Amino acid sequence: MLNGEKLIRRPLRWGMVGGGRTGQVGYKHRTGALRDNTAYRLVCGAFDIDPARGKDFGVNIGVDADRCYADYKTLIAGEAKRADGVEVVTVATPNFTHYEITRACLEAGLHVICEKPLFFTVKDCREIEELAARRGLVVGVTYGFTGHPLVHQMAAMVKKGILGDIRIVDLEYTHGFNSGDDVGASEAVKWRTNPKTAGPTFVLGDIGTHLYYLSEIVLPHLKIEKLLCDRNAFIPTRAPLEDHATVLMHYDNGARGRLWVSSVDAGNMGSQRYRFVGSKASVSWSDAHPDQLIYEIQGEPPQILHHGMPYLEKESLACDRMGALHSEGLGDSWSNIYLWIAEAIDARNRGDEAFLKTHHYPGIAAGTEGVRWLENCVRSADAGSAWVDFQ
């Protein structure tokens, strides 16, 4: 069980680009990074496209005024002059800025933690992966619920063969918050539905990549051979981007998968649902009931497994924070993700390659794989929702 004790030598000096007062994800990042004050210390930021508003916000969350910068370029330049300058920067900005900011930070010798989807193309991902490797730096990617202990319980059960051979993968993440048109919508909605700022997808990249990466954690041994993507813009002004999509997947072991994402599921307040079915049993988990894992053995009554209980696998208990009597939620999951990335950065700084070979964290390979999945989805959809080989 995690309890906030020191797991790295000292807190990393951390900064943010984006994530200010009007952003939707900034507080989630700070909740994750600062839950354990032994892992990160927020020292600087370029929090807003409006410098005055960004500075006001930064001061209000405890950052020194002279370390609240107008943009990422002045942040990098200003911090480089300090003996106590920033070491790792979170990029919590719209998709179209991820590549340029990440690249600039790496070239300045800074580790990076970036929102997803990472970049627009696999080519960009490969370039950044090579740059990070040359500079000996870590690039982490934030996939929200993948730090939840019951996610790692499912992964452990699959690894041990408790479910048998995996046959069916069913993934779903829908909500109804974009059911109406975008007239009067917030800037956070508008950039997500504009191809110039969002990239080649809307809901597939915005929420579908969460599903895909979590399934990779649970099923690391399964690879997609081919897929079919059917996507649609129910609000026509969002085309060619989609606000609804279904992806069918064939895996290399013969398993079949279905992934459904939608932001026009009217009345749904938003939830992720995962079901992995094997030849012996199945497991199901949803963030709507995050403390419970449904375990169903063929021919037996269903079981409800609760987080934090000693009957769970060690992989699950190792990342539990609250204990069985209290709820584990999104903030706890983000805390685990940030902690795992901090441990990777600390190991890289120390040159501990042996630790990095066995340490789990969502790194640039995970971000690249998410972009690769998106490219294949778009290729299928643009071909008339045709089956395509996974490339």
- pTM, to two decimals: 0.96
Confirm if 200 and 129 have CB atoms less than 8 A apart: no
d(CA 237, CA 178): 12
pLDDT(186) > 90: no
Contacts (Cβ under 8 Å, ≥6 apart) of 175: 207, 262, 263, 265, 268, 269, 270, 271
Q: Which residue has the tokens 């002279």?
A: 66
d(CA 40, CA 36): 7
Beta strand 12-18 pairing with 88-92: parallel
Mean pLDDT, all residues of the chain? 97
Q: Which residue has the tokens 């690879």?
A: 223
Confirm if 92 and 42 have CB atoms less than 8 A apart: no
Tens of pLDDT, residues 240-295: 999 999 999 999 999 999 999 999 999 999 889 999 999 999 999 999 999 999 99
Tens of pLDDT, residues 313-370: 999 999 999 999 999 999 999 999 999 999 999 999 999 999 999 999 999 999 999 9
Tell me which amino acid residue 260 is: W
Q: Which residue has the tokens 């990042």?
A: 29
d(CA 117, CA 373): 11
Tens of pLDDT, residues 49-106: 999 999 999 999 999 999 999 999 999 999 999 999 999 999 999 999 999 999 999 9
Percent of the chain with pLDDT over 90: 96
Report the SS3 class of residue 341: helix
Helix (H) or strand (E) holding 46: strand 40-46
> Tell me, what's the pLDDT at 188?
85
Percent of the chain with pLDDT over 70: 100
Q: Count how many residues are written for the chain.
A: 391
> Tell me, what's the pLDDT at 185?
87
Confirm if 339 and 182 have CB atoms less than 8 A apart: no
> Tell me, what's the pLDDT at 162?
98
Residue 130, number of CB atoms within 10 A of its CB? 11
pLDDT(24) > 90: no
Confirm if 1 and 320 have CB atoms less than 8 A apart: yes
Asked if omega into 240 is within 30° of 0 (cis), the reply is yes
Tens of pLDDT, residues 194-228: 999 999 999 999 999 999 999 999 999 999 999 99
User: Residue 184's pLDDT band (boundaries 50, 70, 90)?
Assistant: confident
> Tell me, what's the pLDDT at 247?
98
Tens of pLDDT, residues 133-151: 999 999 999 999 999 999 9
- Which domains does the chain carry? 12-145+340-363 (3.40.50.720), 149-319+369-389 (3.30.360.10)
> Tell me, what's the pLDDT at 187?
86
Output the DSSP codes for 47-106. --SSHHHHHHHHHHTT--GGGB-SSHHHHHHHHHT-TT---EEEEES-GGGHHHHHHHHH
